Amino acid sequence: MDEIQKTLIKAGRKDLAQKYFDRTSAKYIEREDLSYAMNEAFDALADSIKKVKNPDAWATKRYRSAPGVIEQMEKLTELFDKMR
């Protein structure tokens, strides 16, 4: 269960959480649920970013994975810039 599903269940939206799970497992979300799911995904991402404590230590320990993570973050940044 991912963070979005947990958030939906906590909000008392088990029906939407199940619908979200069904749709994301199929890589499809209906239009009327899409904006809510995107906002929940952004909230989960923001919470995860806030929890990052020491990226320097992680990068030193996982030096082979770090370039891929940086590339993914740059691509996300470009995408978010397009959403403004």
pLDDT of 12-61, one tens digit each? 766 666 666 665 554 566 777 788 888 888 888 898 899 999 999 999 99
What does 15-62 look like in DSSP terms, one character per residue? HHHHHHHHHHHTT---HHHHHHHHHHHHHHHHHHHHT---HHHHHHHT
Position 61 scores a pLDDT of 92
Position 32 scores a pLDDT of 77
Mean pLDDT of 3-19: 67
